Amino acid sequence: MELKIYGTNTIKEAINSGNLVSDIFISEKKHKNGHIDNALFRLIKEHELNMTVKNEQFFMKEFGSEALIKGIAAVADYNEIFFEDVIAKNTGKADVFYVILDDINDPQNLGSIIRTANCAGTDCIILPKSNSVFITSAVANVSQGAVFYSDVVRVPNIARTIENLKALGIWVIGLSGEAEEDIYSFKFDIPVAIVVGSEGKGLRRLTQERCEKILSIPMAGSITSLNASVSFAVSAYEIFRQRSVLKKT
């Protein structure tokens, strides 16, 4: 699908990842002041990409106010991957790590989760086809281009997908502040899928019932919950930490 992107880092990663970037646009102000990033400019020349100077009205109409602030935008191809392809790709992998997002609707949260997932070595991000944001310009920007290196799949039914993963020997673990057992008391030396609930309601009842384990993140302050992307980041890096220790022993 065609994806409009903006910002130096996002465009840079789109090019570096091998995704087709067809057109690049720079604002008149940015071009006049010579503020284009040198590394990006070299990439554009190396790949013989077309860069066109456009006025503010063009940026607002085609890409929106955030793109205008960044002063540089592009059109890229984003190829959606499918759940069956991900399963085939990771079959036999002992340390599989998936994340399942249960109705995440905020582009900021999804973009942050994708960026963290890439840094923490997650194999795939799984979303429902309905009641969820997907890959948008804002998501790509917040992820700082990590969308171009990440497997993000949409499935018709999260509950059924959880059952499919369990049948493959993958432990499905939900995050909930109400759980008595926390993430630091669990050994993640197994194939695992972490389930993160929506920003306002957390895990849906049907989703929670399908999970084999529900874990919490300890809280010490007056606020009893974390943002969805932060909850995922904390759990993802505990998994990363534990597995890194195991590899060294």
**Percent of the chain's residues with pLDDT above 70:** 100
Same domain? For 212 and 158 the reply is yes
Q: Are 151 and 116 in contact (CB under 8 A)?
A: no
CATH code for the domain in which residue 243 is found: 3.40.1280.10
Residue 241: per-residue pLDDT: 96
Q: Which amino acid is at 102?
A: D
8 A C-beta contact, residue 83 and residue 153: yes
Domain of 233, in residue numbers: 83-248
Q: Are residues 56 and 95 in the same domain?
A: no
Residues 69 and 123 in one domain: no
Q: Are 3 and 139 in contact (CB under 8 A)?
A: no
Mean pLDDT of 219-244: 91
- Give the count of domains, the chain: 2
Of 177 and 85, which is predicted with more confidence?
85
Q: Are residues 52 and 131 in the same domain?
A: no
The pLDDT of residue 249 is 73
The pair phi, psi for residue 193, each rounded to 5°, is -130, 120
Q: Are residues 122 and 88 in the same domain?
A: yes
Instruction: Among 50, 77, 104, identify where a domain stops.
Output: 77
* CATH number, domain containing residue 46: 3.30.1330.30
How long is the chain? 249
C-alpha to C-alpha distances, 165 to 65, 101, 156, nearest whole angstrom: 41, 14, 14
Single out the residue of 58, 63, 70, 68 nearest to residue 7, CA to CA: 70
207 and 111 in a common domain:
yes
Q: Are residues 211 and 161 in the same domain?
A: yes
Residue 201 pLDDT greater than 90, yes or no: no
Residues 72 and 112 in one domain: no
Domain-ending residue, one of 55, 77, 99: 77
Structure tokens at 170: 């993958």
Residue 99 pLDDT class (50, 70, 90 cuts): very high
Contact between residue 97 and residue 165 where contact means Cβ atoms under 8 Å apart: no
Same-domain check for residues 145 and 232:
yes
Q: What confidence tier does 143 reach under pLDDT thresholds 50, 70, 90?
A: very high
Rounded distance between C-alpha atoms, residue 117 and residue 101, angstroms: 12
Do residue 155 and residue 201 come from a single domain? yes
Q: How confident is the model at residue 33 (pLDDT cuts 50, 70, 90)?
A: confident
Res. 221 pLDDT band, cuts 50 70 90: confident
pLDDT: which is higher, 79 or 34: 79
State the helix-helix crossing angle for 38-46 and 8-16, rounded to 10 degrees: 30
Q: Which of 61, 77, 93 is the last residue of a domain?
A: 77
Q: Based on C-alpha coordinates, what's the Rg of the chain? A: 20
Q: Tell me: do 25 and 124 sit in the same domain.
A: no
For residue 46, the tally of other CB atoms under 10 A from its CB is 9
pLDDT of residue 52: 94
User: Are residues 106 and 139 located together in one domain of the fold?
Assistant: yes
Q: What is the pLDDT of residue 178?
A: 85
